[in-house]
């Protein structure tokens, strides 16, 4: 029956649940959601529920765009139809075990809402499936942590956050001992939240951590990634800790990455493994890497979506700044790990921690599969050492507006993501750039206020 409740939904009534938490991603990768009474949730689980489409019509500060056509004041910000995905059922350990579901947006006829990030990724994965591939992925995030609350941070007016720990101390067992409760909560409560963590450690920088989320299918991994970013912030509140996934909060420290590991499977075997291939890579793997090398700059705003993203792209600070590939080389944008049938994979190292996981995932998969569809070859040798062999390769642009213009004109992006999405996302990035142009920064005041 069309209106029959999904078992995951039916179980809530039997368990005595009275409220359910639901959320969906906006364009910036911020979860927007609400609590629903169990009666409303049961109805919504079969027919969807109304959710104001302003979530795609405003920026991260809730200021409405003036340059978008899909949504805007000209349409009156009506409700869009949010559809709950019952397979995302989980409970929130740090919120009294409240049931939680992720959702996505659809049109009135049930077709995918064209600018919904989760739907955008699903469109790419559906095309991958038609090609005969299951996409397997894993996210890694670096992020800084501070002894701040929203109130203390507001009182400081955005200046001088107090790091969780001092100094540059990567892989430190000693620093982990300083905050055992926070580490334990991240490991144990994320596991209970269906976001299993493979590894968690300190990184180089005061108060910075790195997490590796357990490998899974691509949609499940993107769900885990967006839930990790939100969950880490919510868990941190209990310990007086404010996590920040900003790409680069200080000029003097390395930035924060959002590396994406990938492989393609036919449901049984890792198709990237090639025992007889060059460097242990199958021809399919080579074409996939070649696609990402060729298309990096066309998809760049999905990897570097904010003004701040480009402050991370500086030489000598670990973040790759050129579309290069290498064999187990962390200075390259595309790190090829060619080993056993189980472990062979690609690590795309250029995205920052500030990505929308759905969109960054859609971009890497689309670029790689473009290479497969077109039969692209790796025409340059792998870089060695500190990007040796990449001297003639152009570096990435240093501003959001430059990459946004390339994205808007990209035929590959339009082919894989759709014209409506490309036009809308480009408009939102142009808006972000204009907000930056109008801002008077502390750098300008320090540099010009007295002297000029």
Structure confidence at residue 144 as a pLDDT band (50, 70, 90): very high
434 pLDDT above the threshold of 60: yes
Structure confidence at residue 176 as a pLDDT band (50, 70, 90): very high
Is residue 118 in some structural domain? Answer: no
Question: Cα separation of 156 and 148, whole Å?
Answer: 10
Is residue 409 in some structural domain? Answer: yes
What is the chain's mean pLDDT, rounded? 96
Neighbours of 37 (CB within 10 A): 12
Question: Cα separation of 98 and 90, whole Å?
Answer: 9
Beta carbons of 56 and 70 less than 8 angstroms apart: yes
Same domain, 197 and 300: yes
Neighbours of 392 (CB within 10 A): 7
pLDDT digits (tens, 9 = 90+) for 26-74: 999 999 999 999 999 999 999 999 999 999 999 999 999 999 999 999 9
Same domain, 240 and 273: yes
pLDDT digits (tens, 9 = 90+) for 385-418: 888 889 999 999 999 999 999 999 999 999 999 9
The beta strands (E) that lie in 214-268 are given as 216-217, 242-244, 260-265
The residue-averaged pLDDT of 316-344 equals 92
Q: Which long-range contacts (CB under 8 A, 24 or more apart) does 312-320 make?
A: 312/247, 312/248, 312/255, 312/256, 312/257, 312/352, 313/395, 313/396, 313/398, 317/254, 317/255, 318/254, 318/255, 318/257, 319/254, 319/255, 319/257, 319/349, 319/350, 319/352, 320/349, 320/350, 320/387
Structure confidence at residue 218 as a pLDDT band (50, 70, 90): very high
Q: Where are the alpha helices (DSSP H) in 331-418?
A: 357-374, 400-408, 411-417
Neighbours of 262 (CB within 10 A): 24
318 pLDDT above the threshold of 90: no
Domain with 202 in it: what CATH number?
Answer: 3.30.590.10
96 pLDDT above the threshold of 90: yes
Same domain, 101 and 214: no
pLDDT at 2: 56
Same domain, 86 and 177: no
Q: Which long-range contacts (CB under 8 A, 24 or more apart) does 398-402 make?
A: 398/310, 398/313, 399/310, 399/433, 400/301, 400/304, 400/305, 400/306, 400/307, 400/309, 400/310, 400/429, 400/432, 400/433, 400/436, 401/429, 401/430, 401/433
321 pLDDT above the threshold of 90: yes
Same domain, 76 and 166: no
Q: What is the DSSP letter of 451?
A: T
DSSP string, 160-201: ---BSS-S--TT-HHHHHHSHHHHHHHHHHHHHTT--EEEEE
Domain with 32 in it: what CATH number?
Answer: 3.10.20.70
DSSP 3-state assignment of 58? Answer: strand
Is residue 133 in some structural domain? Answer: yes
Can you say whether residue 167 is alpha, beta or left, with left for phi > 0 and alpha for psi between -120 and 50 degrees?
left
296 pLDDT above the threshold of 70: yes
Is residue 53 in some structural domain? Answer: yes
C-alpha distances out from residue 380 to 320, 324, 344, 367, 389, Å: 17, 9, 20, 17, 9
What would you report as the CA-atom Rg of the chain, rounded to the nearest whole angstrom?
22
pLDDT digits (tens, 9 = 90+) for 270-282: 999 998 878 899 9
Same domain, 99 and 160: no
The residue-averaged pLDDT of 432-442 equals 97
Same domain, 306 and 416: yes
What dihedral angle (degrees, nearest 10) is formed by the CA atoms of 34, 38, 41, 43? Answer: -150
Percent residues over pLDDT 70 in the chain: 100
Percent residues over pLDDT 90 in the chain: 94
Neighbours of 162 (CB within 10 A): 14
Same domain, 168 and 108: no
pLDDT at 276: 83
pTM higher than 0.85: yes
3 pLDDT above the threshold of 80: no
The residue-averaged pLDDT of 98-124 equals 97
Same domain, 157 and 292: yes
Is residue 2 in some structural domain? Answer: no
Same domain, 168 and 26: no
Domain membership of residue 132 as a residue range: 126-447
Structure confidence at residue 254 as a pLDDT band (50, 70, 90): very high
What's the structural domain count of the chain? Answer: 2
245 pLDDT above the threshold of 80: yes
342 pLDDT above the threshold of 50: yes
Is residue 66 in some structural domain? Answer: yes
Domain's final residue, options 112, 146, 172: 112
1 pLDDT above the threshold of 60: no
Same domain, 95 and 162: no
Same domain, 394 and 259: yes
Straight-line distance from the first to the last Cα atom of the chain, in angstroms, rounded to the nearest whole number: 73
């Amino acid at each position: 029956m069309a209106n029959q409740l999904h078992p995951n939904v039916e179980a809530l009534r039997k368990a005595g649940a009275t409220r359910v938490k639901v959320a969906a991603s906006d364009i910036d990768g911020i979860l927007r959601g609400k609590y629903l009474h169990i009666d409303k949730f049961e109805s919504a689980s079969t027919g969807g529920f109304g959710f104001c489409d302003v979530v795609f019509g405003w920026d991260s500060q809730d200021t409405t765009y003036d340059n978008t056509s899909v949504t805007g004041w000209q349409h009156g910000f009506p409700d869009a139809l949010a559809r709950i995905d019952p397979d995302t059922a989980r409970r929130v350990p740090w919120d009294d075990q409240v049931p939680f579901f992720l959702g996505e947006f659809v049109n009135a006829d049930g077709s995918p809402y064209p600018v919904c990030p989760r739907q955008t990724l699903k469109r790419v994965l559906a095309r991958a499936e038609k090609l005969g591939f299951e996409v397997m992925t894993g996210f890694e995030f670096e992020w800084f942590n501070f002894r701040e609350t929203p109130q203390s941070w507001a009182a400081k007016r955005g200046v001088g956050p107090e790091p969780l720990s001092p100094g540059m101390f990567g892989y430190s067992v000693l620093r982990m001992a300083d905050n055992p409760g926070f580490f334990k909560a991240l490991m144990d409560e994320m596991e209970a939240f269906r976001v299993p963590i493979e590894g968690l450690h300190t990184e180089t920088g005061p108060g910075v951590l790195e997490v590796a989320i357990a490998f899974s299918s691509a949609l499940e991994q993107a769900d885990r990634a967006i839930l990790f970013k939100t969950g880490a912030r919510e868990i941190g509140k209990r310990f007086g800790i404010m996590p920040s996934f900003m790409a680069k909060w200080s000029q003097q420290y390395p930035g924060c990455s959002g590396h994406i590991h990938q492989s393609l499977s036919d449901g049984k075997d890792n198709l990237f493994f090639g025992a007889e291939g060059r460097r242990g890579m199958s021809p399919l793997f080579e074409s996939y890497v070649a696609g990402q090398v060729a298309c990096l700059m066309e998809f760049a705003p999905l990897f570097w979506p904010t003004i701040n993203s480009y402050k991370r792209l500086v030489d000598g600070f670990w973040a790759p700044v050129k579309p290069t590939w290498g064999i187990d080389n962390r200075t390259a944008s595309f790190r090829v790990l060619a080993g056993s049938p189980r472990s062979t994979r690609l690590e795309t190292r250029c995205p920052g921690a500030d990505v929308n996981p759905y969109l960054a995932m859609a971009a890497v998969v689309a670029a790689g599969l473009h290479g497969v569809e077109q039969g692209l070859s790796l025409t340059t040798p792998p870089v060695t050492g500190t990007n040796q062999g990449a001297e003639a390769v152009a570096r990435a642009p240093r501003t959001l507006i430059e990459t946004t213009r390339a994205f808007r004109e990209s035929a590959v992006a339009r082919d894989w993501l759709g014209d409506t999405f490309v036009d809308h996302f480009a408009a939102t990035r142009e808006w972000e750039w204009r907000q930056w142009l109008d801002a008077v920064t502390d750098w300008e005041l320090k540099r010009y206020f007295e002297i000029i």
